[in-house]
Amino acid sequence: MVTTPTENNRVLLASRPEGEPTAENFRIETAAVPEPADGEVLLRTVYLSLDPYMRGRMSAAKSYAAPVEVGAVMEGGTVAEVVESRSPDLEPGDLVLSHLGWQEYGVQPARHVRRLDPARAPISTAVGALGMPGFTAYAGLLQIGRPQPGETVVVAAATGPVGSMVGQIAKVKGARAVGIAGGPQKVAFLQELGFDVALDHRSPTFREDLKAAVPDGIDVYFENVGGHVWDAVLPRLNTYARVPVCGLIAHYNATEAPEGPNRVPQLMQAILTKSLTVRGFIQNEFVKEHYRGFQEEVSAWIREGRVAYKEDVVKGLENAPEAFFGLLRGENFGKLLVQVGPDPTR
Amino acid sequence: MVTTPTENNRVLLASRPEGEPTAENFRIETAAVPEPADGEVLLRTVYLSLDPYMRGRMSAAKSYAAPVEVGAVMEGGTVAEVVESRSPDLEPGDLVLSHLGWQEYGVQPARHVRRLDPARAPISTAVGALGMPGFTAYAGLLQIGRPQPGETVVVAAATGPVGSMVGQIAKVKGARAVGIAGGPQKVAFLQELGFDVALDHRSPTFREDLKAAVPDGIDVYFENVGGHVWDAVLPRLNTYARVPVCGLIAHYNATEAPEGPNRVPQLMQAILTKSLTVRGFIQNEFVKEHYRGFQEEVSAWIREGRVAYKEDVVKGLENAPEAFFGLLRGENFGKLLVQVGPDPTR
């Protein structure tokens, strides 16, 4: 039963971070619950998705999306419940994928949300395995990486919602999957997920471990990390290797370029002599053509047990900033969600 | 009338260069003229093509092709005349595209050479506008760069055999062509060729000049140079820009990585946030599918006056090393050829 709420707790961007964000960059405040206009719905946040791209939105630097304004609610994808509807398409109690940001309640035009079927998959997957992170993996791997049977696919942050999906889809497509993660617990989980080899990038022998793990070289490196992993991967890439680039979490908090020498010439030389394809992308680019196929294929693979996913659920909106800092440090283990309010399906 | 030769002057790789190659890295010697076996032809070099890739062949470092051995004849594409034939497919006096390297005479299997029709185009174009450099431009621009009408294409070393073709084909395809070259004489020539804008990369205001020349940003940057041109281009690339990489002549003589900071993170960040495609290639990759179309299209464009080419002909094999050093310094003006012996068509 849905009651009429009066207070809306929300997390605002208080200031832009220099380097690693801190608690001072956020401010929690209580506002009035907004009222839906014609065609709109009032939504209650159940799950807020925390994702690395949000670090970019905190900065004023030009990127593929506009930054969050200082004083505005932090952006973010949400799974929410309809509290009040002024649209014939939705009614109270409906569960929807929405983009409310870091707050308990929000209003959106009904046509901007998508109704979820809890019978089809747990609703939290709408922001994970069956949502933006899963689609990032699916589209980047299949449209840019194009792994062929028997080829070797390497991915870092491999227990995360993107990386874990990349490795598992690579296996579905008959490729060898090598996953890289931080720490023995995550490495063990990659083995459970069916990765052929799981490596710990914190190991002092990481470079040698990677070399030994890819005796036939690397055909696809799905780049979502950057830093020393990319440095170790580059010499192992095969001729015609493909490198979809969807994230560079190792660099998001950097305040200046790292010490020299400048290795851009070396990177360009590798691109030239090995006929590499290095291709940045944002999943939006592929939505129109491939989103429906993604939903059908991946939900089937989940049902068939060919693809598994792991969630890391933090309770309470007030804990979102801390959880986000941990995400940037690689401390989450699986898809990071903030449970903002009760999940009516559980 | 073809006489039987007895002496064969040739240029050997005497030692591997450290940095910029010097005369000491080459040795000129006189050897006996080889005899063709069954199925082979004895050829006399008319034109030897000098190309930047040869710098790579002088080094032992791993690349897309094996290095020239120390003590072996320097590699290179040639236009040659058949002196003696032991193949039913060729006869004395025939002119062929061949790969004799830096020498006056050589033997090749008849099936490894391609007969040229002097009535169709000047034979020297077989190693230039209608040869490997022209095809590099054609395949890289059209298969990777894919310029659309109204888009902006930028190319450096734009008076060279690759760059000049890139700009002219971009114009044929309805794109805007911005050419970059070194010095006012070359800039003037680019204007003659029909480039929309021609820039001098030696100008102290080069960065600003480039910015002003591309008010709508850059959609295709055909990379054959590297160095400070690439640094200036990167911030001007548009979302979804394509960067075919076929050469990095600015770095070929480098003995160590340039001073820091390390700008690899910055480059990867640009690739990510602008959804760039950076793609290395060697023209061989496209030969099977596109070489015939290239020959037909480009020779038609030349006949129609839509595409022009410029040759820089140095006489005498003994001058090949000096000419090659000048090529690496950007001193040639047009496609660099060594005329090793008389051209029977002139």
Identify which of B324, B328, B321 has the alpha carbon closest to the alpha carbon of residue B226: B328
**DSSP 8-state code for residue B206:** H
CA B210/CA B225 separation, integer angstroms = 16
Of A62, A267, A272, the CB nearest to B264: A267
B2 pLDDT band (50/70/90 cuts)?
Answer: low
CA B147/CA B164 separation, integer angstroms = 16
B292 pLDDT band (50/70/90 cuts)?
Answer: very high
Residue A61, pLDDT score: 79
Q: For residue A92, is pLDDT > 50?
A: yes
Residue B196, classed as helix, strand or coil, is coil
Q: For residue B146, is pLDDT > 90?
A: yes
CB-CB contact of A250 with A330 (8 Å): no
Q: For residue B298, is pLDDT > 90?
A: yes
CA distances (Å), A192 to each of A125, A134, A164, A312, in order?
Answer: 20, 19, 11, 17
B1 pLDDT band (50/70/90 cuts)?
Answer: very low
Which site among B63, B269, B285 would you substitute to test the A interface, given the most A Cβ atoms closer than 10 Å to its Cβ? Answer: B269
The mean of the pLDDT values for chain B is 95
For the record, the structure tokens of B271 come out as 């690739």
| % of chain A exceeding 70 in pLDDT | 99
B110: Cβ contacts below 8 Å, ≥ 6 apart: B39, B40, B41, B85, B86, B87, B89, B90
Identify which of A95, A101, A134 has the alpha carbon closest to the alpha carbon of residue A10: A101
For the record, the structure tokens of A209 come out as 């471990």
DSSP states along A73-113: BPP--EEEEEEEE-STT--TT-EEEE---SBSEEEEEGGGS
For the record, the structure tokens of B60 come out as 């032992």
CA B247/CA B323 separation, integer angstroms = 19
Q: For residue A30, is pLDDT > 90?
A: yes
Quick: pLDDT tens for B206-249: 999 999 999 999 999 999 999 899 999 999 999 999 999 998 88
User: According to CATH, what is the number of the domain A7-127+310-339?
Assistant: 3.90.180.10
Q: For residue B62, is pLDDT > 80?
A: no
Mean pLDDT score, B250-266: 86
Quick: pLDDT tens for B47-61: 999 999 999 999 987
Residues of B in contact with A278 (CB under 8 A): 271, 276-279
Q: Least CA distance to B259: which residue of chain A?
A: A261
CB-CB contact of A31 with A308 (8 Å): no
Of B259, B265, B281, the CB nearest to A251: B265
Quick: pLDDT tens for B190-208: 999 999 999 999 999 999 9
Q: How many CB atoms lie within 10 A of CB B257?
A: 15
Provide the greatest CA pair distance for chain A.
Answer: 64
| Chains A, B: CB pairs < 8 Å | 140
Q: Least CA distance to A239: which residue of chain B?
A: B64
User: According to CATH, what is the number of the domain B7-124+310-339?
Assistant: 3.90.180.10
A2 pLDDT band (50/70/90 cuts)?
Answer: low
Residue B3, pLDDT score: 63
Domain boundaries, chain B: 7-124+310-339, 132-284
Half-sphere exposure for B178 (CA within 13 Å, toward CB): 26
Residue A229, classed as helix, strand or coil, is helix
A132-284 CATH pick, 3.40.50.620, 3.40.50.300, 3.40.50.720, 3.10.20.30: 3.40.50.720
- Cis preceding linkage at B261, omega within 30: yes
Identify which of B82, B104, B109 has the alpha carbon closest to the alpha carbon of residue B93: B82
Q: For residue A64, is pLDDT > 80?
A: no
